[in-house]
Amino acid sequence: MTKYIFVTGGVTSSLGKGIISASLAKLLQARGYKVTIQKFDPYINIDPGTLNPYEHGECYVTEDGAETDLDLGHYERFLNTPTSQSNNVTTGRIYQYVIDREREGAYLGKTVQVVPHITDEIKRRMCLLESEGQYDIIITELGGTVGDIESLPFIEAVRQLRWELGAHNSLVIHLTLVPFLAAAGELKTKPTQHSVKTLLEYGIQPDVLVCRTEHHLNADIRKKLALFCNVNVNAVIESIDAPSIYDVPLLMLKEQLDKTVLAKLKLSTKSEPNLDNWKIFLGKLKNPTAEVTIALVGKYVELPDAYKSINEAFIHAGAVNECKVRVKLIAAESINESNVDEKLKRVCGVLVAPGFGERGLEGKLEAIRYVRENNIPFFGICLGMQCAVIEFGRNVLKLKNANSYEMDPKTKYPVIHLMEAQKKVKNMGGTMRLGAYDCEIKKGTKTAAIYGKGKISERHRHRYEFNNEYLSQYEAAGLIASGINPDNNLVEIVELKSHPFFVAGQFHPELKSTVANPHPLFVSFVAASLAHSKAAKQK
């Protein structure tokens, strides 16, 4: 029978439920168990696809085209296994399904209520992954904080499901904060006590407490928390602030979180976790032999979470190259012709980030012109690739005011245009080109050397494409299409033949970069930036 672990949060948000869930899953996976993680978000949006990145960070896209919470990125990066539509559910999706069923008459005229209809649907979704028959343990992270009004149906669904599953088939981990009061010089347990009390009022006794803290928990603090929160002393787990999220699995191993969980679920703890590769990765991450500064030019640089997967992909690629990557965030709209040299002359590589809309477009184009003309390594992602095409069209092909149809529907040279399938789309949510698509790579190109194979699959999230009417002009001038979608002949990757590293993709490679499999485009881009740095120092 599949066992269930539910992870709740208390006292405050942003304590790292996603990292704790992913770290526990990593430890269980390293012991040989088949594990997956799902996230239940309490907001009414159907998915984060229509949310501004400032609201909720980046929107993470799965292989099957689901627009999901960024925590799913952590799950994939830690476990190296893909997630799907079933791994992220929102209140909006739950209510939409129940209301649609009510309109169809599926409830036979009954009064449709939060209990049992909404909670029944939540429970059904929580158990959906079990029906695939491939998991020993399913970890369910509940978004929000215990006590939030919007979280109540999820908490109630967990209470009911635990009763239905029976003893030893589920447990609840409550992640909470133990703050340090500098004036008093001590850690305070009262917020955790109140948070657990609130959970108890909803009918749930947590089995394990994971306590986020800036200072180590001594034996007295652990005993006090255990006594007042009604858990075993060995189930009070310290989660101290760590230099990197990738340290957390080893910290949880030291705290024996995995052993405590397995004992409560009556599962074997005989096989010790095999974390050799993880430790090798951490060793390279913490002991770089070189350092490189790469500029990330984007719209949402005030919130680093807007580019979470890109930042993590740089960490993976940096470890491969035994190099510390310093990412310099630059607001695209702050760049212009007069200051581009000042902003970019000290960086060894430039990544132009994905995004939507016209804001910052001219700054991105100016940055691309600068790196193209000065042979600085360049990497474009999604809109970054489209910007590379626009810049080349304007400044090399002399197509005056060439643009994307998205930015200027009246442009004389729409080098980026709207796909036919997108022209009749009215709704914004879930209607882009989403998920994994195949790409065939041309032999003899830089891209072919980077990937080392002729056919790849990458994840997409966009509406606009390279306009193939201009392809022959571009290729004649040196910007070639090195990757093409075999089904519809769409350009997936462009590269500049006469440049040390000038590669841009219509897809999002950062979404497939994991600790176990760093993405080759990022690895090669960091290597090229490192080479540029060394060459610059020798001059």
- Return binding residues: 13-19, 54, 71, 141, 148-150, 188-193, 224, 242, 355, 383-386, 406, 463
Integer-rounded Cα radius of gyration of the chain: 25
SS3 of residue 398 by DSSP: coil
CA distances from 68 to 49, 85, 239, 297, 477 (A): 7, 8, 26, 24, 39
The pairing of beta strand 290-298 with beta strand 349-352: parallel
Is residue 508 annotated as part of the catalytic site, yes or no? Answer: yes
Which one is catalytic: 59, 382, 387, 439? 382
Q: Strands 433-441 and 455-462: what pairing?
A: antiparallel
532: annotated active-site residue: no
Give the helix ranges, DSSP H, for 16-66.
17-30, 53-56
Is residue 153 left, alpha or beta, with left meaning phi > 0 and alpha meaning psi from -120 to 50?
Answer: alpha
236 three-class SS: strand
Find the catalytic residue in 117, 510, 519, 532.
Answer: 510
Establish whether the linkage from the previous residue to 116 is cis, with ω within 30° of 0: yes
Q: Which of 174, 316, 508, 532 is catalytic?
A: 508
- In 241-261, which positions are buried (b, 16+ CB within 10 angstroms) versus exposed (e)? eeeebbbbbbbbbebbbbbbb
Binding-site residue set for CTP: 13, 148-150, 188-193, 224
Residues making up the binding site for L-glutamine: 54, 355, 383-386, 406, 463
Residue 211's SS3 state is: strand
CA dist 250 to 190, 253, 381, Å?
A: 28, 5, 33
If you search the block for the tokens 């974390």, which residue do you land on?
A: 275
In whole angstroms, give the CA distance from residue 452 to residue 449. Answer: 5
Residue 510 annotated to the active site: yes
Three-state SS letters, 327-379: EEEEEHHHCCCCCHHHHHCCCCEEEECCCCCCCCHHHHHHHHHHHHHCCCCEE
**Residues catalogued as catalytic:** 382, 508, 510
